[in-house]
Structure 1
Amino acid sequence: MNTPFSDLTSHLSDASIGLYSMQNEHFGIVEMMAAGLVAIVHDSGGPREDIVKPGTGYLATTPEEYATYMYGILTQPNVADDTRQAARVSAGRFSDKIFQDSLATALAPVLILSAASMI
């Protein structure tokens, strides 16, 4: 379903938990984290390797794990608030600015060598 971005941000602002059970999937998780949802995502692929770090959300594989994390989030608001804040900060790793700076840093040696070979 392709929801208009304005509708998506409105729905995210009304939510407190982002549940994502698809294996090896990461699209949408960073957006949930940036919006302050506590992410509970499948313990596989991109979510495990790149997205959810300790303290920024939860990785689960069984229905019982998803339920346990949801219960904890709903009954421990202080922990949930800390997780939300950490998730928002962590989501910043995926900003356009960070990507542009990282790409420029990675390409700099290649561009310098290329320019030197043209002289």
Structure 2
Amino acid sequence: MVHGLTFVMNTPFSDLTSHLADASIGLYSMRNEHFGIVEMMAAGLVAIVHDSGGPREDIFKPGTGYLATTPEEYTTYMYGILTQPNVADDTRQAARVSAGRFSDKIFQDSLAMALAPVLILSAASMI
């Protein structure tokens, strides 16, 4: 740890939750990868992630985090988060709300709605 900065890589899930509880920024630089980003957002971290694949297409909505590709972009976003607490707090709140799109309840409801026509047709054909 240097000046409040800790790098945690490939940590076991049992340790991950305590890291998420103590952190304020989540940096994720792997290309085309999105596993773990929603968890960071739900925990209230401001996520700065690689501008590619899943994060760009599926995870981020405007105001819920930052997409970066260069070290300079990562650094600029980190500096902004640390020096503009009101913006960081708004981003955290928006990220938590956005992460709710991936809840078990939303998934179950969406799956039930998608399957309903098939189940109704199947039940009708059995009569």
Q: Which TM-score band applies after superposition, normalised by the shorter structure?
A: over 0.9
| CA distance in structure 2 between the aligned counterparts of 1:73 and 1:6, rounded to whole angstroms | 27
Q: Structure 1 residues 46-55 or 5-14, which shifts more? A: 5-14
- Rate the CA distance shift 1:3–1:73 in 2: closer, same or farther, 3 A: same
| CA distance in structure 2 between the aligned counterparts of 1:33 and 1:98, rounded to whole angstroms | 17
Consecutive unaligned residues in structure 1, runs of 5 or more: none
In the TM superposition, what is the alpha-carbon distance from 1:3 to its structure 2 partner? Answer: 4.2
- Rate the CA distance shift 1:61–1:4 in 2: closer, same or farther, 3 A: closer
Query: After TM superposition, where is structure 1 displaced by more than 2 Å over at least 4 residues in a row?
Result: 1-7
Higher helix content, 1 or 2 = 1
- Rate the CA distance shift 1:43–1:5 in 2: closer, same or farther, 3 A: same
Aligned-CA RMSD value: 1.3
Using structure 1 for the length normalisation, give the TM-score: 0.95
Using structure 2 for the length normalisation, give the TM-score: 0.89
Q: When the two structures are aligned, how many residues end up with a matched partner?
A: 119
In the TM superposition, what is the alpha-carbon distance from 1:76 to its structure 2 partner? Answer: 0.3
In the TM superposition, what is the alpha-carbon distance from 1:5 to its structure 2 partner? Answer: 3.7
* Seq. identity, %: 96
In the TM superposition, what is the alpha-carbon distance from 1:7 to its structure 2 partner? Answer: 2.2
